[in-house]
């Protein structure tokens, strides 16, 4: 009995720690998974209601808006994590970040509008899509800031509100025969706007007061020290991850992109989780590194990878099951089943590599090693862009995904090497 008691207490400690870690990642993933499920159901409605060209346009919209979110994360989200590591953020610094967020939201909206128009959307649809991109970008930094300041539960509430409002409104439109490409874009915008407002009047007062009180000149130092390298890394990573979406849409048209979007749709949950969890993990890792607790930071990387792997496994098996046993739920006439399955396999491999790499990438961001991340992404983006373009011309849209996979492998090797070298110097 005297021997087994300490062992029992150890078991309880390990079990409690495991439950705490699982709860932590469950809370971090619940919101993104809710958004992803809403986007999945929305895309499924678009797939069955719209012709291939319109479905391709909406799928393209759901590629370029996450790019805007990544840019926001790199330019102000990641520097906020570094600021947290160095100490608290005063009201002047906060006003700089919030004013920059407004500027980025405007730039994102304008960019999405232009890209949608260039890809074949009418001006009205492009404008509403741009408005959605702008508000989604503003809301994404709000999520990051709320994770840093608390309460984190408000982020989950906002994500659930966005997902439920989006799906509910689209289903009502579908039921009453009112679903059109323009009305669908309006629902995307309205759902995001309501979810952004849910962060409360205190935050909204701060955000809009920054338009008059904040100074973009104060961002110059943030840009020169951190954000320029972080933003460069994100742009290069975007070329590595989504070059096929831009090349296929602009070279072959949105109708040609539609079959690729069907396969990508099934892997969207893990993609959104990998985009959202870093917003919560980056400040936590920054605090550990700032306190010199490198062992705990390394543990956090391993826990992050385990959680990402679990979500990837669930996403990949669910997608494969749907395509193999219930293809009628996903595909409609005009879509090739074997082609969709091949696209799913490519995206499963791509996201598996990305899931393996992302924890080290977040660690380097938390450490402020943005330049190392940018250089790690440079070579891989060249490989990905060249291989994707060549395969698109020679072998067609589906096999062009092999170029994306090659780029992901290249950037993963370099980022892991950079992370291991940084940790080794501090071991």
Contact 80, 148 (CB under 8 A): yes
Task: Find the distance separating the first CA and the last CA of the chain, reported in whole Å.
Answer: 40
Domain count, the chain: 1
Q: Does residue 333 belong to any structural domain of this protein?
A: yes
Q: Does residue 4 belong to any structural domain of this protein?
A: no
Q: Of 150, 119, 142, whose CA–CA distance to 54 is shortest? A: 119
Q: Of 36, 411, 100, whose CA–CA distance to 238 is shortest? A: 411
How far, CA to CA in Å, does 168 sit from each of 90, 157, 160, 247? Answer: 40, 16, 12, 33
pTM: 0.76
Q: Does residue 95 belong to any structural domain of this protein?
A: yes
Q: Does residue 5 belong to any structural domain of this protein?
A: no
Q: Does residue 2 belong to any structural domain of this protein?
A: no
pLDDT tens string, the chain, 427 residues long: the values are: 444 455 455 555 555 566 666 666 666 667 777 887 888 889 888 888 888 888 888 888 988 898 888 888 888 877 876 676 666 577 788 888 889 999 999 999 999 999 999 988 889 999 999 999 999 999 988 988 887 777 778 988 999 999 999 999 999 999 999 999 999 999 999 999 999 999 988 888 888 888 887 678 888 887 877 677 777 777 777 767 777 788 888 887 787 787 788 777 788 778 777 876 777 787 788 888 878 888 888 888 988 898 889 889 998 999 899 888 888 777 766 677 888 889 899 999 999 999 999 999 989 888 878 788 888 888 778 888 888 889 988 988 888 899 889 888 988 998 999 898 888 887 6
Give the structural domain span for 212: 21-425
Q: Does residue 10 belong to any structural domain of this protein?
A: no
String of DSSP letters for 404-424: HHHHHHHHHHHHHHHHHHHHH
């Amino acid at each position: 009995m005297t021997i087994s008691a300490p062992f029992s207490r150890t078991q309880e400690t390990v079990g409690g720690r495991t439950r705490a870690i699982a709860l932590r990642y469950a809370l971090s993933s619940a919101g993104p998974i809710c958004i992803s499920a809403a986007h999945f159901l929305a895309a499924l409605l678009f797939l069955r209601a719209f012709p291939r060209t319109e479905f391709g346009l909406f799928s393209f919209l759901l590629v370029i808006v996450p790019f805007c979110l990544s840019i926001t994360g790199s330019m102000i989200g990641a520097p906020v994590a570094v600021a947290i590591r160095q100490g608290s953020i005063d009201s002047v610094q906060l006003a700089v970040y919030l004013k920059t967020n407004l500027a980025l939201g405007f730039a994102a909206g304008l960019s999405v509008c232009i890209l949608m128009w260039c890809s074949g959307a009418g001006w009205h649809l492009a404008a509403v899509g741009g408005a959605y991109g702008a508000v989604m970008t503003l809301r994404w930094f709000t999520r990051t800031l709320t994770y840093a300041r608390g309460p984190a539960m408000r982020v989950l509430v906002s994500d659930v509100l966005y997902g439920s409002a989006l799906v509910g409104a689209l289903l009502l439109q579908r039921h009453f025969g009112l679903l059109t490409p323009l009305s669908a874009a309006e629902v995307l915008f309205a759902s995001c706007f309501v979810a952004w407002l849910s962060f409360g009047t205190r935050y909204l007062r701060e955000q809009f007061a920054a338009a008059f009180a904040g100074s973009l000149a104060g961002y110059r130092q943030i840009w020169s020290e951190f954000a320029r390298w972080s933003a460069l890394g994100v742009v290069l990573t975007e070329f590595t991850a989504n070059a096929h979406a831009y090349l296929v849409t602009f070279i072959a048209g949105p109708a040609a992109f539609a079959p690729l979007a069907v396969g990508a749709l099934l892997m969207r949950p893990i993609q959104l989780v990998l985009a959202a969890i870093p917003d919560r993990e980056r400040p936590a890792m920054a605090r550990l590194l700032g306190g010199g607790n490198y062992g705990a930071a390394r543990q956090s990387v391993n826990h992050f990878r385990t959680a990402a792997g679990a979500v990837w496994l669930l996403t990949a098996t669910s997608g494969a099951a749907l395509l193999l046993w219930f293809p009628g739920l996903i595909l409609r006439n005009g879509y090739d089943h074997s082609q969709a399955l091949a696209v799913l396999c490519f995206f499963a491999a791509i996201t598996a590599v990305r899931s393996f790499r992302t924890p080290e990438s977040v660690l380097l961001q938390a450490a402020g090693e943005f330049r190392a991340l940018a250089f790690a992404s440079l070579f891989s983006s060249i490989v990905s862009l060249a291989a994707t373009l060549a395969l698109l011309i020679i072998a067609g849209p589906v096999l062009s995904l092999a170029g994306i996979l090659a780029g992901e492998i290249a950037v993963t090797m370099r980022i892991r090497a950079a992370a291991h070298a940084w940790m080794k110097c501090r071991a």
